[in-house]
Homo-oligomer: A and B are copies of this chain.
């Protein structure tokens, strides 16, 4: 794989470093996480980390992008399909939330990245880097908007301000990264129930018309 590395601009970031870094950032937060800590986590030293990443911020960005990629990958196949808007939105939300739970460490880092971006204060240097990440995140979020709006035009959803609605919707789907912590004896069915309840809450929040039974 190394060979001459013909301009593989997307260098192969070692997966072990990424996952350990994700877990560190998840458990301690960006500032409280030290590079040495990450290095120990992979059974190495700073040297290895700094050989693959220019800086701590760069490592963070890599984990962030990795997490975003997981989300995009999970959602993409649904976007191409041809569902009715409400149905499509619901499926998107389910896939999203399921991925949130199954890749929690990475998604927690994405969350922190968003938080860091929304905080005003950072050095101008970090700012543009954070803006780039936030743009990617925002672009992803905007994927939901047209589907949501189409469903509203169908009379299947009901909300006043679309931007606020989208914020609340995504916030709800993402919130498990904060409060969800899998129990020991947690089954697959348990997790799926959690996904269902979260998605139901979010869809209902958008004013989803109940399917009048009988």
Complex CA gap A121/B33 in Å reads: 10
From B32, B164, B193, contact of A31 by CB (8 A): B32
For residue A193, give the distance in angstroms from its CB to the closest CB of chain B. 7
Report whether over half of chain A's contact residues are helix, strand or loop; otherwise say mixed.
helix
Interface contact A171-B175, CB-CB below 8 Å: yes
Whether A28 is near chain B, meaning CB under 8 Å from some CB there, is yes
- The residues in A between 21 and 41 inclusive whose CB is less than 8 angstroms from any CB of B are 26-29, 31-32
Whether A125 is near chain B, meaning CB under 8 Å from some CB there, is no
Number of identical monomers bound together in the oligomeric complex: 2
Query: Which of A2-10, A145-153, A200-208 lies on the face that meets chain B?
Result: A200-208
Interface contact B201-A206, CB-CB below 8 Å: yes
Complex CA gap A26/B119 in Å reads: 7
B residues near A29, Cβ cutoff 8 Å: 29, 31, 116, 119
B residues near A165, Cβ cutoff 8 Å: 197, 201
For residue A144, give the distance in angstroms from its CB to the closest CB of chain B. 15
What interface size band does chain A fall in?
A: 35 or more
B residues near A205, Cβ cutoff 8 Å: 172, 201-202, 204-205
Chain B residue at minimum C-beta to C-beta distance from A116: B29
Complex CA gap A207/B201 in Å reads: 8
B residues near A167, Cβ cutoff 8 Å: 175, 179
Whether A70 is near chain B, meaning CB under 8 Å from some CB there, is no
Q: A-side interface residues toward B, CB under 8 Å? A: 26-29, 31-32, 114-116, 118-121, 159-161, 164-165, 167-168, 171-172, 175, 178-179, 181, 193-194, 197-198, 200-202, 204-207
